[in-house]
Amino acid sequence: MYEFAIAWEWLAFAVRWLHVVTAIAWIGSSFYFIALDLGLVKRDHLPAGVYGEEWQVHGGGFYHIQKYLVAPASMPEHLTWFKWEAYTTWLSGFALLCVVYYGGADLFLIDRHVLDVDQWQAIGLSLASLGVGWVLYDLLCKSPLGKNTWGLMAFLYVVLVAMAWGYTQIFTGRAAFLHLGAFTATIMSANVFFIIIPNQKIVVADLIAGRTPDPKLGAQAKQRSLHNNYLTLPVIFFMLSNHYPLAFGTAYNWIIAALVFLMGVTIRHWFNTTHARKGRPLWTWMVTTVLFIVIMWLSTVQKPVSEDEVSVAPVYQRFAADAHFPAVKDIVASRCSMCHAAEPVWDGVARAPKSVKLESDAEIAAHAREIYLQAGRAHAMPPGNITEVSAEERALLVAWYESSVSGESSQ
C-alpha cells in the first residue's frame, strides 16, 4: 500500500501538468481575443456587417482580421471553435481537486478545528458549492440586474467575498482558497459551455437556414466573456496560492481573497484600456500596489492555536504509535523543526515552509506521507540536504511510514 502513495503522487503531478497546459491554452486565447476585440478599428471601407478590423504582425507574417458584430452573410468554409481549451481546463482541474483534496481529505480538505465533519460530508459540501455557485450566478445574469453590467459585477463581487468567508469556515485555509478558485473557474467554464458556445451555434444554425441571427445572443455571450476576462487573474492567484501559506494560512485569509479580486480588476482594467487605445491609466498600478501592500500586512497576523490541536487525530494515530516513531521524532527535531516551526530559528526563514510545522507528535504524524515522500523516498527535503540527513536516517523515515501503513511495526 505504501507504493500507492508514490503512484498517487505521480498521478497528481500528471493531472496538474495537464491542467496547467490546458489553462495556458484557454487563458492565452481568451486574453488574445479580448485584446483583439478592444483593438478593432472602424473604417469606412469595411464590408457590410463588419464591426472593425485590425492588422497584426507575428512570426514573420501579417494578419488581416475583421470582426462581424453578428455574423457574415454566409457561412465560411472553415470555422475554428474555441471551446475545448475551457472544457479541458475545467475537467482537468476537477480531476486534480479529486486526486489531491478528495483523495487526501483528512489532510488537505478538512480542518477539524474549523468544522468537524466526515470525509463524505466535506466532499459533498465542496461539490454542492460549485454547482450552487453557477446556478446563482446564471440566475443573477438573467435577472433585471443583469441588464446593468457593472452593477451586476459589483453584486457578484459581494457574492465572491461572502463565499471567501464561507469557505474559510468549512475547510482548511489552503482548501478554502483552492475552492474559491474552483468556484470562480466553474462559473467561467459554464459560461462557455452553457451560454457562449450555444449562442454561437444558434447563430450558425440561423445562417445555414437563411435566417437573420438575433443580436441579443452575441450581446449575452459578450457579457459573460467580459466577466471571464475580469475573473481570470484572481483564479490564477488562488490556484497558485497553495504554495504560499502567507496567503491562505493567516487569520484574515478571506479578506486577502477579497482584495485579490480587486487586484484582478485593476490589472485587467489597465490592459483593457490600453488595448482599446484609450490611454494608459497608471493609477490602476498604484491601486494594485497599495492593495498588495495591505495583503502583505494582513498576512503578518497569525491564527491563534487552540490547545486541542496538539492531540493526534485518530486517523494519524497509527503513525504516532509505530515503534519507529520515537527515533523519527528525534530525526525531525534535529533535521527539520528548525524551519518547520511556529517560530523558525533558521536564518532567512521567517515562516514555516508551506505552513507545515513539525514540532509536536500530532504535526509529525499528520504529515507522515509528506515526510515519507520528500525526505524518505526522495531527497527534496531538506533543500540541498543542508541539515545533513544521513542515508540511515532517510531509511528509517521510509521504514516508519511503510510499517505504519502495512501495520507490521517492528524495531
Q: Rounded to the nearest 10 degrees, how much is the dihedral formed by the CA atoms of 30, 86, 14, 366?
A: 100
Angle at 303 between CA 302 and CA 304, to 5 degrees: 115
Which residue type, as a one-letter code, is found at position 196?
Answer: I
280 contacts 273 by C-beta, under 8 angstroms? yes
Specify the pLDDT at position 5: 84
Task: Give the mean pLDDT of 38-62.
Answer: 92
pLDDT of residue 305: 60
How far apart are the C-alpha atoms of 384 and 256, rounded to whole Å? 33
Q: What is the pLDDT of residues 88-146, one digit of tens each?
A: 999 999 999 999 999 989 889 998 888 989 999 999 999 999 999 999 999 999 999 99
Alpha-carbon distance values, 294 to 108, 264, 316, 391 (Å): 27, 15, 37, 45
Contacts of 138 (CB under 8 A, 6+ apart): 190, 194
Q: Does 183 or 151 have the greater pLDDT score? A: 183
pLDDT at 164: 97
- What nine digits make up the cell of 85? 481549451
pLDDT in tens, 170-227: 999 999 999 999 999 999 999 999 999 999 899 888 877 888 888 888 889 889 998 9
Segment 319-376, tens digit of pLDDT: 999 999 999 999 999 999 999 998 888 888 878 887 889 999 999 998 999 999 999 9
Residue 190: burial class (beta carbons within 10 Å; 0-12, 13-18, 19+) = buried
Distance CA 351, CA 342 (A): 7
DSSP state of 137: H
Average pLDDT over residues 224-239: 94
pLDDT at 410: 46
Is residue 49 scored above 80 in pLDDT? yes
Q: Residue 2: pLDDT above 70?
A: no
- What's the CA gap between 404 and 191, in Å, rounded? 47
* Eight-class DSSP state of 109: I
Query: How many C-beta neighbours within 10 Å does residue 215 have?
Result: 12
The mean pLDDT value for 40-55 works out to 91
pLDDT tens for 241-284 read 988 888 998 899 999 999 999 999 999 999 999 999 999 999 99
pLDDT greater than 70 at residue 308: no
Mean pLDDT rounded to a whole number for the chain: 91
Q: Residue 310 — pLDDT band, cuts 50, 70, 90?
A: low
Name every residue whose Cβ is closer than 8 Å to that of residue 404 and which is 6 or more positions away in sequence: 318, 319, 322, 324, 368
Say what percent of the chain tops pLDDT 70: 97
Question: Torsion angle of alpha carbons 170, 262, 231, 298, nearest 10°?
Answer: -40
| pTM exceeds 0.75 for this model | yes
